[in-house]
Amino acid sequence: MDYNRFDRLTRSLGTRRSRRQALVVGAAGVAAIPLGHVSHELAAQDATPAATPVAEQTNPAFLFVQLAESGSWAPNPDEDGSYLLTLSGLGSQTLYFSDRPDRIVGTVSTDQFLAGLGFSPFEPPNAAVVVQTPDGERDVLVVELSSPVYTQSFGENGLDVLTYQAKVLDAYLGEGLKEWVPQADDDQLPQEFSNVSLFIDDCADMEGCYILANDSYKGNWYYKYIGPVPGGPYGRCYNYKTLRCAPCSNLLDRYYDRLCNEEFPACNGECLTNTCVWGGTC
């Protein structure tokens, strides 16, 4: 990975300190249970405890960076208003860094990063695509990313290729990419470009309840939206030790799954809140 290039591109980024909402559980003692034992305690309860928002707690906010030698931008033939963003000559590692004062910096293998962050079309992360045009100019576009397809090549001349489905953002309300937003002159990228830097925003909030369903006509599995998470949305935070997005509170995903399953009878006990990647499971 070209760290000098990374440093030049990120030098102008402002810092942020994201504040995520923490939750406590109304039933006494559950919020203090160690993470590894939460599921056993919850399973033993007859009724789902009420989740009550309390004072916000501060969590590190992260940006993720992927560098590639070249790329392309083309309409997605399967969906109107969607595009295919393809990165070629991608590094095998994705770099992550936090805001001050934490100063957490590290790398994660790209395939593990894709699985851990989650790129569901329902709650896609935002990203700034920074490229060099064929004329040598810099072009910037802020998009939503989903459904990554990562192909690793081995051998001396092999190039890793990563393709995202992307939708152009009309408005960006977050903090992590705010330095790049004013530099997006239009709503498109050139068809071919080089020197790609992809800045990916932190974990998306947990907003919906979904059920894994089968499309008998197309013969594939997909996540069907059932309704909003009761009491949500809830913040997700990136855990750089487990390398995945998880609720910012000390409760496991399955606690929020229970909220969905008890709120919506259509779930039949199978609703999920963390859909991870399209067509996959967490």
List, for residues 154-175, the tens digit of each pLDDT value: 656 678 999 999 999 988 888 8
Q: How confident is the model at residue 261 (pLDDT cuts 50, 70, 90)?
A: very high
Helix H or strand E encompassing 260? helix 253-263
List, for residues 234-259, the tens digit of each pLDDT value: 988 888 888 888 888 878 888 999 99
As a whole number, the mean pLDDT across the chain is: 77
Q: Residue 74 pLDDT more than 90?
A: yes
Q: Residue 9 has what pLDDT?
A: 41
Q: What is the pTM of this model?
A: 0.73
Q: Residue 46 has what pLDDT?
A: 40
Q: Residue 198 pLDDT more than 60?
A: yes
Q: Residue 199 has what pLDDT?
A: 96
| Residues 6 or more apart in contact with residue 98 via CB below 8 angstroms | 60, 61, 62, 104, 105, 240
- Nearest residue to 65 (alpha-carbon basis) of 9, 121, 140: 9
Q: Select the more confidently predicted residue: 43 or 201.
A: 201
Least confident residue range of 96-105, 217-226, 266-275: 217-226
Measured distance CA(267)–CA(258) in Å, rounded:
10
* Percentages (nearest 5) of helix, strand, coil residues in the chain: 15, 40, 45
Measured distance CA(142)–CA(122) in Å, rounded:
17
Q: Residue 156 has what pLDDT?
A: 61
Measured distance CA(40)–CA(89) in Å, rounded:
45
Q: Residue 31 has what pLDDT?
A: 30
Q: Residue 80 pLDDT more than 50?
A: yes
Q: Residue 57 pLDDT more than 80?
A: no
Least confident residue range of 13-17, 75-79, 178-182: 13-17
Least confident residue range of 49-63, 177-191, 215-229: 49-63
**Buried-state track 21-56, b at ≥16 Cβ within 10 A, e below 16:** bbbbbeeeebbebeeeebeeebeeeeebbebeeeee
Q: Residue 98 has what pLDDT?
A: 87
Q: Residue 194 has what pLDDT?
A: 96
List, for residues 128-143, the tens digit of each pLDDT value: 999 999 999 999 999 9
Q: Residue 171 has what pLDDT?
A: 86
Least confident residue range of 17-31, 96-110, 135-149, 267-281: 17-31
Q: Residue 115 has what pLDDT?
A: 87
Q: How confident is the model at residue 27 (pLDDT cuts 50, 70, 90)?
A: very low
